[in-house]
């Protein structure tokens, strides 16, 4: 029996190794709330720091630690903004073409720096979780990306990341308790 070929979620005519900013969404396996919770008093509230709105679990703090380490592993990568939600995370990742990576090598099998960074994040968080919970499935396969097209698009997504925790019950990834 021949299985159907999986369609790539990447934009086929875009050079992902080119500079630019990308909006990335990565979900947990079965949208399980592995990374923390959002207290009910936060929903609908106005806060200054979206990062403080989700009460991160130890696993959520692992995600944060690996995210903070990404630029040292990928020198061309700039983590411009992120929010860790209970069952997903949103990132604004910039690729700076003016910086040349020390260990820069041709990308294998068409994998881009963005894909490699997401893979590194998923692998290292999974590895840390599997030390204490070896059978825990952590991530949904692949990730969603959106190429930032202009300043208005950038500002809209920046605001979306900022307000995502306060709109948790309206989020498409929200699963009630």
Q: What is the value of pTM for the model shown?
A: 0.80
CATH of the domain at 27: 3.30.70.1290
Cβ proximity of 112 and 16 under 8 Å: yes
The total domain count for the chain is 1
Strands (E), 9-52: 20-27, 36-37
In a domain, 78, yes or no: yes
From residue 51, alpha-carbon distances to 14, 54, 162 in Å are 31, 7, 8
Range with the lowest mean pLDDT among 43-47, 116-120, 132-136? 43-47
The boundaries of the domain holding residue 119 are 20-166
From residue 100, alpha-carbon distances to 12, 95, 131, 153, 162 in Å are 25, 11, 34, 27, 31
In a domain, 141, yes or no: yes
d(CA 94, CA 40): 33
Range with the lowest mean pLDDT among 1-5, 10-14, 94-98, 101-105? 101-105
d(CA 63, CA 61): 5
Q: Which of 171, 146, 137, 131 is nearest to 25 (CA)?
A: 146
When pLDDT is cut at 50, 70 and 90, the band that residue 32 belongs to is: very high
Q: Give me 62's structure tokens.
A: 């692992």
In a domain, 110, yes or no: yes
In a domain, 3, yes or no: no
């Amino acid at each position: 029996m021949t299985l159907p070929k999986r369609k790539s979620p990447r934009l086929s005519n875009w050079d992902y190794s080119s500079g630019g900013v990308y909006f990335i969404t990565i979900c947990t396996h079965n949208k399980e709330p592995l990374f923390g919770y959002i207290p009910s008093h936060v929903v609908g509230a106005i806060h200054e720091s979206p990062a403080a709105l989700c009460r991160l679990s130890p696993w959520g703090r692992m995600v944060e630690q690996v995210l903070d380490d990404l630029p040292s592993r990928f020198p061309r990568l700039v983590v411009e903004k992120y929010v860790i939600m209970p069952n997903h995370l949103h990132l604004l990742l910039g690729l700076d073409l003016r910086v040349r990576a020390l260990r820069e090598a041709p990308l294998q099998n068409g994998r881009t720096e963005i894909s490699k960074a997401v893979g590194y994040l998923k692998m290292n968080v999974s590895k840390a979780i599997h030390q204490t919970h070896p059978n825990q499935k952590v991530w949904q396969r692949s990730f969603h990306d959106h190429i930032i097209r202009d300043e208005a698009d950038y500002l809209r997504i920046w605001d979306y990341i900022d307000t995502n925790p306060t709109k948790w019950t309206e989020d498409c990834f929200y699963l009630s308790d």
